[in-house]
């Protein structure tokens, strides 16, 4: 991994810290948060649809299908496991204030997988790593806000900022490991990993960001932010090409 790539992995970490700071200083309202989550979901899905999948399909249609199918199996298995762990943690802490251990654990796994995919993006070359970094930074901003909102009534400021930052550091670790594991692999293997990554990205958008956004309430402006986010990535992708 080049020094510039390593520096880019710090951008999502900064975004996660900014989320904690915003949660302390002036947390956004319900409708604003819903609109921003729609925007973030549009950015993440655009990164998968415009940057990950096209190159994968061109490389090998069969590998793209296998990688995509494996991604579905892994992500929904992870969902089942983390949901059970979260339910157990909630049951043990019922009636007692404290950190949402289950949610933190699930987020940590998500962030680690994000890092592995980011490492694959850097290995693939071009501007794939840059676009994925932008998508993750926007996503982490709102995941961090969600974590802050789940930490109880009055958590310490250091905890509100520190937990998202600590979790986002797993992305840096994952990226370094991803580059190390994938260095020198064939284009076919890398295509399979990126197909898997496309599922991971879309899962985070559809099963986390959009679900929470819908729970907060729908407005026409908020929903349109999804397409604005997609458009922003499209413009950036064209500018970098």
Q: Answer whether residue 29 is part of any domain.
A: no
**Phi, psi (degrees; rounded to nearest 5) at 173:** -60, -45
Summarize the confidence of residues 101-107 as an average pLDDT: 71
Tokens 């580059």 belong to 179
Q: Answer whether residue 107 is part of any domain.
A: yes
Summarize the confidence of residues 18-36 as an average pLDDT: 80
Q: Answer whether residue 61 is part of any domain.
A: yes
DSSP state of 95: T
Q: Answer whether residue 28 is part of any domain.
A: no
E strands in 125-231? none
Give 135-191 pLDDT, tens digit per residue: 888 888 877 877 776 665 566 777 778 888 888 899 999 999 988 888 888 888 888
Give 69-98 pLDDT, tens digit per residue: 998 998 888 888 877 776 776 666 555 555
Q: Answer whether residue 30 is part of any domain.
A: no
Predicted pLDDT at 93? 59
CA-closest candidate to residue 19, choices 124, 151, 115, 127: 151
What is the SS3 assignment for 126?
Answer: coil
Give 197-211 pLDDT, tens digit per residue: 888 888 878 887 788
Predicted pLDDT at 101? 67
Predicted pLDDT at 72? 92
Predicted pLDDT at 104? 76
Q: Kindly report the pTM of this predicted structure.
A: 0.79
Q: Answer whether residue 26 is part of any domain.
A: no
Give me the domain span that covers residue 182. 3-21+35-240
As a whole number of angstroms, the distance between CA 237 and CA 228 comes to 14
Q: Answer whether residue 161 is part of any domain.
A: yes
Number of domains in the chain: 1
Radius of gyration, CA atoms only, the chain: 18
49 pLDDT more than 70: yes
Predicted pLDDT at 26? 78
Summarize the confidence of residues 42-67 as an average pLDDT: 83
Predicted pLDDT at 16? 87
As a whole number of angstroms, the distance between CA 163 and CA 199 comes to 26
Q: Answer whether residue 232 is part of any domain.
A: yes
Predicted pLDDT at 56? 79
Mean pLDDT of the residues in the chain:
81
Helices marked H in 26-98: 30-46, 53-59, 61-92
């Amino acid at each position: 991994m080049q020094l510039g790539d390593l520096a880019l992995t710090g951008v999502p970490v900064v975004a996660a810290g900014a989320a904690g700071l915003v949660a302390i200083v002036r947390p956004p309202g319900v409708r604003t948060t819903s609109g921003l989550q729609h925007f973030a979901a549009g950015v993440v899905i655009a990164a998968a649809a415009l940057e990950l999948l096209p190159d994968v399909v061109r490389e090998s249609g069969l590998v793209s299908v296998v990688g995509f199918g494996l991604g579905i199996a892994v992500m929904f298995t992870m969902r089942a496991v983390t949901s059970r762990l979260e339910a157990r943690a909630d049951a043990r802490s019922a009636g007692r204030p404290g950190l949402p251990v289950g949610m933190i654990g699930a987020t940590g796994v998500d962030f680690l997988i994000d890092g592995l995919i980011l490492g694959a993006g850097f290995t693939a070359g071009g501007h794939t790593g840059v676009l994925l970094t932008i998508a993750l930074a926007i996503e982490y901003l709102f995941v961090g806000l969600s974590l802050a909102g789940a930490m109880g009534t009055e958590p310490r400021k250091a905890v509100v900022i520190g937990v998202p930052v600590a979790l986002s550091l797993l992305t840096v670790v994952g990226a370094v490991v991803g580059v190390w594991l994938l260095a020198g692999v064939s284009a076919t293997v890398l295509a399979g990993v990126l197909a898997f990554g496309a599922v991971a990205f879309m899962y985070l958008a559809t099963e986390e960001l959009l679900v929470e956004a819908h729970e907060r309430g729908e407005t026409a402006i908020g929903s349109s932010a999804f397409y604005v986010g997609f458009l922003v990535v499209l413009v950036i992708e064209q500018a970098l090409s």
